[in-house]
Structure 1
């Protein structure tokens, strides 16, 4: 049986209202969120910057939990703004609206093609952590493959990448001139 960490519980608590909307994709999405947080921790440690690991910071846990949730909550593959709205609502409800701007930048820029700042900057760190997972470890920003594989063993894919491929294909068939609306320069 898998032992859950505090970040795992924080993610599960934030996702609880969305379990029905996630449906069969719940485990796949929850594991994606957990992998992104673990990759952010590993990348942060490599920067040598001081401070707590991302998985223990409100802005990272909230951004990670909601960053793709608009796919299911709003039923769209153009999900960045719906995901920002969900994160903003959660932050306001929990008295952390001071983090809204940062969390929305993290969500809006997590699919940027170009870097969003220095390696330890929260927006760039989050972008890199998500890219490690979305690329199935093809892009690791210096993270050893063994570290990547260890995170994947702890939080298996559970069909997440297959779901992304399905959503991408469906979007490309319906909107051939805009197959990936979440990509930013």
Structure 2
């Protein structure tokens, strides 16, 4: 069954709707695709879904809130600064790791490994438009993508990468991690 409502994700995104502007639907759908893929690769218990929702909402948000393509640290800072989550330190650190490591090129093996790695894989499934499925069934990936269409999200990423390539050709994707 698809995840269609994650309160923490919706609440976080609504707080930043005006800032995200015309990209809101595309980013929201990207977040929901990632959340569905991550939950399918990990767990669907309430605590885990809440962490997935928060991480999904904030993982790329500084592209808009801070106007930067080097968005991982400010995305984490913004998540930490918004106190409505009432999470313990361990959960905050796990969510921060999920955000920080979601563009890691190789597998993540550090603290909070299983959920961080599931989140990293979920982003890879989405960024590859489902070509990489990380063990998820093709039909499930297609169902998620049909429920949450791109609305220009991937085209926007390509446009931003192209701009960055012109302004900083030696580091066009500063968010990528080894």
Fold match (TM-score > 0.5): yes
Q: Tell me the distance in 2 between the aligned counterparts of 1:67 and 1:11.
A: 11
Aligned partners of 1:38 and 1:55 also within 8 Å = no
- Which residue, 54, 61, 64 being the options, matches 2:53? 61
Deviates more, 1:68-77 or 1:15-24: 15-24
| Structure 1 position 95 matched with structure 2 position 86 | yes
- Which residue, 32, 35, 45 being the options, matches 2:33? 35
Q: Tell me the distance in 1 between the aligned counterparts of 2:123 and 2:47.
A: 13
Q: Tell me the distance in 2 between the aligned counterparts of 1:184 and 1:25.
A: 25
Q: Secondary structure at the match of 2:171?
A: coil
* CA shift in 2, pair 1:155/1:53, >3 Å: farther
Aligned partners of 1:37 and 1:55 also within 8 Å = no
- Which residue, 21, 24, 29 being the options, matches 2:22? 24
Aligned partners of 1:84 and 1:104 also within 8 Å = yes
Q: Tell me the distance in 1 between the aligned counterparts of 2:177 and 2:85.
A: 29
Gaps of 5+ in 2: none
2:133 aligns with 140
Runs of 4+ with deviation above 6 angstroms: none
Q: Tell me the distance in 2 between the aligned counterparts of 1:38 and 1:149.
A: 12
Q: Tell me the distance in 1 between the aligned counterparts of 2:85 and 2:8.
A: 13
Q: TM-score, normalised on structure 2?
A: 0.90
- Return the structure number with greater relative CO, CA threshold 8 A, min gap 6: 2
2:115 aligns with 122
1:5 aligns with 4
* CA shift in 2, pair 1:14/1:75, >3 Å: same
1:107 aligns with 99
User: How many pairs does the alignment contain?
Assistant: 173
